[in-house]
Structure 1
Amino acid sequence: METSLQKRLKIRMDLMNMNALQTAKKAGLGESFVRDILRGKSKNPGVEKLERLAAALDTNLDWFTSSAEFDKSPAKPKTVEGLDVVGSIQAGNWIDRSVIDEESEREIIPVARDQRFPHAKQYALEVIGDSMDLEYPDGCFVTCVDFWDSGLSLKDGHIIHVERHNGPLVEMTLKAVETIDGVQMLVPRSSNARHKAIPLEGDGGTEILVKGIVTGSYKRAIL
């Protein structure tokens, strides 16, 4: 059974559109502290940390610690602000990691967060090239939920955002998950036969990191 603190923390995070990592960073706390409360593992956290958590979520300590009944609905409707476009994906385009600028100003696309993952990091990526053009054509955007935040396990049919690392170089791409002859593979869905399936475990000395699971797509209107 959820504690009052669990419920209240989830409500504030939903209202602020923040996940556990974002909440922890804003409060100057460890991510595990926030996750332990959400999972019911920390029922009596210290007052000082709760005050910092409350301030980060634009509320106060009394609201967090009150045992009174509360209205679960937001005081005012949420507005759709959109998702940050955190980069682009292009199969075969290997980039030196040292030149990737993660602090540059980001475009925001007008797509609502996926409510199935209220506490997870969500983001968008621009699709470049034809490695997944049967699903997501060149120039569109895909929306993703952070793989680790989602709590999901990979299964056939998932379209995922992956990074392939080879020394200082990284390739950022989309692939479909399929099991072929008992091996979990990352498969292109492309009109171009040059794009090939690769093992999820990596190939040719490359390391594969699963970053996110695709939840949808968006295409700019042509005016």
Structure 2
Amino acid sequence: MKWWERLQQEMDALGWNKAELSKRSGVSYDSINKYLRGETDNPRGNVIDKLADAIGRSRVWLRDGVVLEPQSEVSPSLAKWVQARKVGIVSASLFREVDEFDQSEPEEITVPRDEKFPDARQLTFDVEGDSMNDLRPRPIMPGDTVVATAYEDIAGRVVLRDGMVVVVQRTRDGGHMREWSVKQIEIYEDRTEFHPRSNNPKHKPIVVQRQFDADDGVTVEIIGLVRMVLNTMPGF
């Protein structure tokens, strides 16, 4: 299913026409017409955000069909341990076909509560490959699990800065192919760079000029701020 088909699906469920969506989102009627005809794979700027907000869905769901389940508790948890959703595998330079028909129940594990962001969702990713095996002061190795705070939940409270380690999502081919990888941020006046930290020279940084929208049909988005790395010792 394409992103505009998900948009149409939600409009139908809400009983909205294009004029209603235009009024509620602030996106022009003509633009919405074009989107719903499938003429634009990757809208520029914050159009996806506006449309997602209008229909009450997340950006990542509207654009990529990825469901990040909301917490059952609205108030911050006081428990020392919380449930974190296991999202998938992070592996640099490996694009995987998006399985839009995966109806399996999301797996959850228990992780220590993030004291800084107790009201945000926690996501976990299994690490493949060596793209962060030279990260300092602690490398991220194949077989590790990274625990990340959902960036969508904290974007308004966190200023991105040099040295932050994040989970980056890249999509291409109209959203059919997706890569999740862990990178370290370097911020410059005219661009943001997402760097591997590896002793393997094949891994290259992702360089994004001005906004997190590439010019080659590839979209780039931060989906998680890495807060913890876990590792289970083999043999048990």
Partner SS state of residue 148, structure 1: helix
Equivalent-residue separation in structure 1 for 2:166 and 2:191 (angstroms): 17
Equivalent-residue separation in structure 1 for 2:101 and 2:125 (angstroms): 14
Please report how far the alpha carbon of residue 186 of structure 1 lies from its aligned counterpart in structure 2 after TM superposition. 0.6
Partner SS state of residue 111, structure 2: coil
Q: Contact (CA 8 Å) 1:83, 1:113: kept in 2 or not?
A: no
Alignment of 1:41-190 (within 5 A): 78=79, 80-99=81-100, 101=102, 103-108=104-109, 110-134=110-134, 135-150=139-154, 151-167=157-173, 168-179=176-187, 182-190=190-198
Larger radius of gyration: 1
Q: Which residue identity does 2:225 align to in structure 1?
A: I
Deviations along 1:19-60, whole A, 9 cap, x unmatched? xxxxxxxxxxx69xxxxxxxxxxxxxxxxxxxxxxxx769xx
Equivalent-residue separation in structure 2 for 1:163 and 1:81 (angstroms): 24
Instruction: Using the aligned pairs only, state the percent identity.
Output: 27
If the length of structure 1 is used for normalisation, what is the TM-score?
A: 0.60
Question: For residue 207 of structure 1, what is the aligned residue in structure 2?
Answer: 219
Equivalent-residue separation in structure 2 for 1:189 and 1:83 (angstroms): 26
Q: Which residue identity does 1:96 align to in structure 2?
A: E
Equivalent-residue separation in structure 2 for 1:123 and 1:187 (angstroms): 21
Q: Contact (CA 8 Å) 2:83, 2:108: kept in 1 or not?
A: no
If the length of structure 2 is used for normalisation, what is the TM-score?
A: 0.57
Equivalent-residue separation in structure 2 for 1:180 and 1:57 (angstroms): 38
- Provide structure 1 residue ranges, at least 5 long, that are not aligned to the other structure: 1-29, 32-55, 59-73
Partner SS state of residue 216, structure 1: strand
Moved over 2 A (4+): 77-84, 98-105, 179-183, 200-205
Q: Which residue identity does 2:227 align to in structure 1?
A: T
Question: For residue 216 of structure 1, what is the aligned residue in structure 2?
Answer: 228
Equivalent-residue separation in structure 2 for 1:125 and 1:175 (angstroms): 13
Deviations along 1:155-204, whole A, 9 cap, x unmatched? 11111111101121111111110135753201000111000112133363
Please report how far the alpha carbon of residue 111 of structure 1 lies from its aligned counterpart in structure 2 after TM superposition. 2.1
Equivalent-residue separation in structure 2 for 1:127 and 1:219 (angstroms): 10
Query: Residue 136 and residue 57 in structure 1: after superposition, are their counterparts in 2 closer, same or farther (change >3 A)?
Result: closer
Query: Residue 122 and residue 93 in structure 1: after superposition, are their counterparts in 2 closer, same or farther (change >3 A)?
Result: same
Equivalent-residue separation in structure 1 for 2:132 and 2:223 (angstroms): 17
Give the superposed CA RMSD. 2.7
Query: Residue 80 and residue 144 in structure 1: after superposition, are their counterparts in 2 closer, same or farther (change >3 A)?
Result: same
Partner SS state of residue 171, structure 2: strand
Q: Contact (CA 8 Å) 1:91, 1:131: kept in 2 or not?
A: yes
Size of the aligned set, in residue pairs, is 152
- Provide structure 2 residue ranges, at least 5 long, that are not aligned to the other structure: 1-55, 58-71
Query: Residue 100 and residue 126 in structure 1: after superposition, are their counterparts in 2 closer, same or farther (change >3 A)?
Result: farther
Deviations along 1:121-140, whole A, 9 cap, x unmatched? 11111111111122200000
